[in-house]
Amino acid sequence: MDADERRLFPNSVFRHPELGSKAFHSPNVHQHKELKEKIIKIFYRVYNKLGYGFLEKIYENVMIIELKSQDILTVT
């Protein structure tokens, strides 16, 4: 992970270039896990409701609506 990636993703797990295989974990790992689980549940709910065959933009628009309804900020 380079300096730009660390700046953009400060809470990510990364390997220190000098310490090698020792991984450093964010103290917010649990918080990120909960958010990830919420997003995955929303994805499956949207996919199961719409089914397959739509353009990606349709799924994206519905995901944005669902994420906002759960107070999860999105960037489009």
For the segment 51-63, what is each residue's pLDDT rounded down to a tens digit?
Answer: 999 999 999 999 9
Q: What is the pLDDT of residues 9-47, one digit of tens each?
A: 665 555 555 555 444 555 566 778 888 999 999 999 999
Total tally of structural domains belonging to the chain: 1
Domain that holds residue 45: 3-69
Is 50 inside a domain boundary?
Answer: yes
| Rg of the chain in Å (alpha carbons) | 17
pTM: 0.58
Domain assignment present for 39:
yes
In a domain, 75, yes or no: no
pLDDT in the model for residue 31: 73
Distance CA 34, CA 21 (A): 26
Q: How far apart are CA 36 and CA 33, in angstroms?
A: 5
48 lies in some domain? yes
